Amino acid sequence: MKILVANDDGINARGIHELVSALSRVAEVYVSAPHVQRSAAGHGMTLSGSLFVREVEFEGAEKAYEVSGTPADCVKIGLYLLKRQGVEIDMVFSGINHGGNLGTDTLYSGTVSAALEGNLKGYPAVAVSVDLAGRGGEPQYFEYAAELAVKFAEWGFSGTYGCAGIGENCGENERGFAKFGKNITLNINVPDLPAAAIKGVKTGVLAKRAYLDNYMDITESGSEGDGNSADRSIHKESDNDKEGKTEYSYGGNLIDQIGLPEICDAVIIAGGYAAVTPIHTDLTDFSILGDISIITEFIAN
């Protein structure tokens, strides 16, 4: 089994090293990750300008690429370069992210987008994150998330856990990811707790997340915000270029989520469980597709 691992926190982040270390026990692991922090990069990719790739040493990995691009870039070019060298990847993992990727936050997430890019290229994919429950700082506990990733990798390709409770006496074509034709992306979020304190794992749906936006005027302060920019050197402007412009740094606050259904990933995490949500790239709203079809036909005629 060969696994490509990416992330959005950068190739030197602790989370990706914890994930590679765990997965390397059961698979050949390859890494393609951003050279700097690229949180909230979404599914963007580099179309103007060039990508720079450098092969680097990475403990536990057969080969590792440091890429001057987005998380989606990393997956695309990683798969491309490895295929040229005769390496056929079986699965894509992204993470372990330093912070949760719950609900509609997945639309902004570079971590989740890296996994979805892997799936768009035809590979089963898993995004893994450690949720900080609204705290600042860095996660302390990666063990449970890493072990959960290993279990899903083993289930997906080695036949471990057999049918995993889906029917009895299943054939090989119903085991692991084969049951889904490899068209599967999982979004896993784990509380930042010691493994013994996590109550278990539940499957859930994406919660709707809303934020009270707060843009801080940092024009005169000389501050560069919270450090989450992709690469500050890219976005810096000279004093002449800044004339007449106001500089802002984002700092939104999550709006209270009282009343969310218990099946939502955010509620599952808040209850002390890890949350697993199957996701996909089809953004079609099937609930109103028929009505819009009627309206479109009426307008067109």
The reported pLDDT for the residue numbered 182 is 75
pLDDT at 259: 78
Containing domain of residue 50, as a range? 2-208+260-279
Residues 120 and 235 in one domain: no
Report the pLDDT value the prediction gives residue 238, as an integer from 0 to 100: 52
pLDDT confidence of 171, banded at 50, 70, 90? low
Identify whether residues 186 and 219 lie together within a single domain. Answer: no
Tell me if 301 is assigned to some domain. no
- SS3 state at 297: helix
What pLDDT score was predicted for residue 244?
Answer: 81
Q: Are residues 242 and 135 in the same domain?
A: no
User: What digits encode the pLDDT tens for the residues 245-266?
Assistant: 888 888 877 877 777 899 999 9
Answer yes or no: is 286 within a domain.
no
The two three-digit tokens of residue 167, written as one number: 């029917």
DSSP per-residue codes, 178-229:
GGGTT--EEEEEEESS-GGG---EEE-BPPP--EE--EEE-TTT---TTS-S
Q: Residue 230: what pLDDT? A: 46
- Residue 145, in any domain of the structure: yes
Same domain, 168 and 233: no
Domain count, the chain: 2
How confident is the model at residue 154, as a pLDDT?
A: 92
257 against 183, higher pLDDT:
183
Q: Where residue 228 falls among pLDDT bands split at 50, 70, 90? A: very low
| Alpha helices in the chain, H assignment, sequence order | 14-23, 71-84, 110-120, 143-157, 232-235, 265-270, 289-300
pLDDT over threshold 90, residue 211: no
pLDDT of residue 163: 57
Instruction: Flag whether the pTM goes above 0.75.
Output: yes
Based on the domain organization, do 164 and 230 belong to the same domain? no
Same domain, 22 and 161: yes
What is the pLDDT, as a whole number, of residue 202?
A: 97
Kindly give the interhelix angle for 143-157 and 14-23, rounded to the nearest 10 degrees: 40
Amino acid 218: pLDDT: 85
Nearest-angstrom CA–CA distance, 135 and 23: 28
Average pLDDT, the chain: 88
For residues 191 and 226, membership in a common domain is answered with no
CATH number for the domain harbouring residue 41: 3.40.1210.10
